[in-house]
Structure 1
Amino acid sequence: MKYKRILLKLSGESLMGKKQYGIDPATLSQYASEIKRVSEMGVEIAIVIGGGNIFRGVDSEGTGIDRVQGDYMGMLATLINAMALQSALENAGLITRLMSGIKVEQVCEPFIRRRAVRHLEKRRIVIFGAGIGNPYFTTDSTASLRAVEIEADVVLKGTRVDGIYTADPEKDPAATRYRSISFQEVYEKRLNIMDMTAFTLCKENDLPIIVFDFNKPGNLHRIVEGEDVGTLVTM
């Protein structure tokens, strides 16, 4: 295996499947199956999931909801998704731990770095919910920060497209995919991979990022075995 410990970042919108909102059980089951396959290979897996299928803090602007309040609402939305994913993984026979950036003792553990690492060493899948516990930070930033803290080998960002393109492939049919690209090139070309805080954190800690299509069966398995899937961002 090329990667022993990974941080998988998923968007909340990905859980909708073909639905307009909420959580699609079939999509949850598919994701659990993909993650289980990689876990059985011996890979240590941590996961961060967004909450855009339920609520996004930035969407609160213009609604009369304070931005800080909206961000906390978004954190709780990520926690709902994390609980749903945890349930799907446990139904698939995996052992999980849910750790939260804000205290919700009846539901999950608070995030403690040493405890998170110990869970991973015991081959438990760790899901990080509720962001980092502070407003104005996205789940991309959470993924980058948690990956650095647990000393992950790579951040795997699952999206709807199979990598980073020269332009939006859904709008420009002439767009071509980068197989690999440097952090500096991403800055210079102003490619929108993740928010700048998250991206800079990965760059400063020499933490590679792979952007790939998680909805294509087998892609996660192929990545951890070192195959050329998606786009690799490195120094």
Structure 2
Amino acid sequence: MFVVSKVAAEHKTYEEAKAGIDETLEKMELDYLDMMIIHSPQPWAEVNQSENRYKEGNRQAWKALEDAYNEGKLKAIGVSNFQIEDLESLMETAKIKPMVNQVLCHISNTPTELIEFCQKSNIAVEAYSPIAHGVILNQPEIQTMAEKYGVSVPQLCIRYTLQLGAISLPKTANPEHMKTNAEVDFEISAEDMEMLKNFKEIADYGESSGFPVYGGKL
């Protein structure tokens, strides 16, 4: 088991972030967490609405993570939904570089420049929602390509993110899906990878569309 938690997107002071870390450990009755990350560079209510990137607030929250890491409370520290400018700002003052950046990444939404920046900076990329909350399942072109490789659409989607050099984070509570999600030992051709990288953008995530990372506003 690998236990991960997040500093709330709204916690942009050292004190708030530190309290959040300690409260999480207390509630989970653990001496340490395997990893903790800043959930977003902006409070959720401001995502897609504000140009304020909370540079100083993120630096303060990061300092709290660094201190907890040095105290042995956290085994790894990182960020989520951070863009290049957010990472650059954070690393200007950070003593410990983010170990991971967890970002929305799937067929039809591939943040290529961000992925390349992270890789050049030795920051691991975790791709969440690699199956686009299931919306990608209904795309005929993707279904056809999955059939070509003799795999399911979710398996194709997961393999795609792996070949981008990311760690894929599919979400399921179904044991059978967990098993098949891990069966991705095949190779997508370079030509097909290019097609998937440039696949038409999905404009509607269905019931999830209202959440900020999927384009919505709180």
Fold in common (TM above 0.5): no
Q: Answer 1 or 2: which has greater helix percent.
A: 2
State the TM-score, normalized to the length of structure 2.
0.36
Q: Which has the higher contact order (CA 8 A, sep 6+)?
A: 1
State the TM-score, normalized to the length of structure 1.
0.34
Q: Which has the larger radius of gyration?
A: 2
Q: Answer 1 or 2: which has greater strand percent.
A: 1
